[in-house]
Amino acid sequence: MPELPEVETVRAGLQRWVAGRTVDSVEVRHPRAVRRHEAGGADLAARLGGLQIEAASRRGKYLWLPLADAQGSRGECLIAHLGMSGQLLVREPNAASWRELGRVYRRFEARGEIRGGRFASGMSGEQFALPDAVERMREIRRTARDGRLITISGCDPLNLTGLVDSGERVRALGANRLAYRDGVAVAAMEGDYLRPLCGFSADEASRVATALAGRPMPAVLSGFIGR
C-alpha cells in the first residue's frame, strides 16, 4: 500500500500529463477498475468523454481529478486509488510497437551505427547498443570488483530490479533509492523503510544504511530508519 509521499509523487507527475487536457475516449479494460461506479464501465466511459481534466489533486491517498465541460467546472471529479502497486501507468498514444522499432534498429545495425546481440544475461529477446557501449561493458567485466556502494533514485533507468533478475521490483518513485555494489542491487530505501535485496553482513549494514539515508547510520539490516 503506497504511503502519502509516494501518492504525492504520482500526483505531481500526473499533473504534467493531464492538467488542462480533454478526455478523447475511455476504455475500461477490467471491471475491477470501476467497481465503485455503480452504473458500470460503459456509463463511466460515456460520461467522461469530451470533459476536461482541470488538475491532478489529492485527497489523502486518493487522486482527485476535477472535471469541466465547455461551460466550466461541473462540480464533479474522477477519483482514483493506486491500489497495492502504488503505480499509475502513462503511455504515449502513438508509441511505436517493438516490431516497428525492430525494423529500424536492424537498419541501423546494417549501417554499423549500433550493435545487435545478447549483451545482458537474464533478459530475453534481442538487444541493441551503441558500439562504444558494448566495449565499455566488456571493459567493466574485466575490471576487478572494489565493493564500492553506488546509490541511485528509484526513477533512474538503471533501476532494473525485478526486470533482469528474479527479485522483487522496486517501484520507480522519486522517494525510493537503491544501493548497488559491483553492479548488484543490495538494498532499497522505500520511503523510510530499508529493504534488503540480497544478503550482506552486519559489518556492511551500517555502510548500506548510511549510503541510502544520506547520513551516518548504525547497522540496520531491515526496517524503518527514517530520512
Whether residues 220 and 154 fall in one domain: yes
Task: Flag the least confident range among 4-8, 34-38, 149-153.
Answer: 4-8
CATH number of the domain where residue 71 is located:
3.20.190.10
Q: In this structure, is residue 190 part of a structural domain?
A: yes
| Pair (108, 74) in one structural domain | no
Read off the pLDDT band of 37 (50, 70, 90): confident
Do 111 and 131 share a structural domain?
yes
pTM for the structure as a whole = 0.51
- Are 117 and 50 in a shared domain? no
Distances (CA, A) of 189 to 74, 101, 210: 41, 35, 11
| Residue 187 within a domain | yes
72: region left, alpha or beta (phi > 0 left; psi from -120 to 50 alpha): left
Q: With a cut of 70, say whether residue 131 has pLDDT above it.
A: yes
Gap between the Cα atoms of 45 and 36, Å rounded: 14
Convert the pLDDT of each residue in 74-107 to its tens digit: 778 999 888 877 778 777 777 788 889 989 999 9
Same domain flag for 126 and 186: no
In the DSSP assignment, the letter for residue 166 is S
Q: Which long-range contacts (CB under 8 A, 24 or more apart) does 154-159 make?
A: 154/178, 154/188, 154/190
Which pLDDT does position 63 carry in this prediction? 92
Same domain, yes or no: 188 and 132: no
133 in the same domain as 178: no
Assigned domain for 76 exists: yes
**112 occurs within a structural domain:** yes
Question: Of 158, 147, 227, 148, whose CA–CA distance to 194 is shortest?
Answer: 227
Does 39 fall in a domain? yes
Kindly indicate the confidence band of residue 198, based on its pLDDT and cuts at 50, 70 and 90: confident
Pair 153, 214 in one domain: yes
- What percent of the chain clears pLDDT 70, i.e. is strictly above it? 94
Could you give the 3-state DSSP secondary structure of residue 206?
helix
Quick one: 154 and 138 in the same domain? no
Q: What pLDDT digit, counting tens, does each position of 167-184 carry?
A: 677 877 777 889 998 888
Q: 112 is in which domain, residue-wise?
A: 98-142
**Together in a domain, 126 and 153:** no
Average pLDDT, the chain: 83
Please state the rounded mean pLDDT for residues 59-68.
90
Is residue 93 one of the residues assigned to a domain?
A: no
Give the residue-averaged pLDDT of 177-206.
84
- The tally of domains found in the chain comes to 3
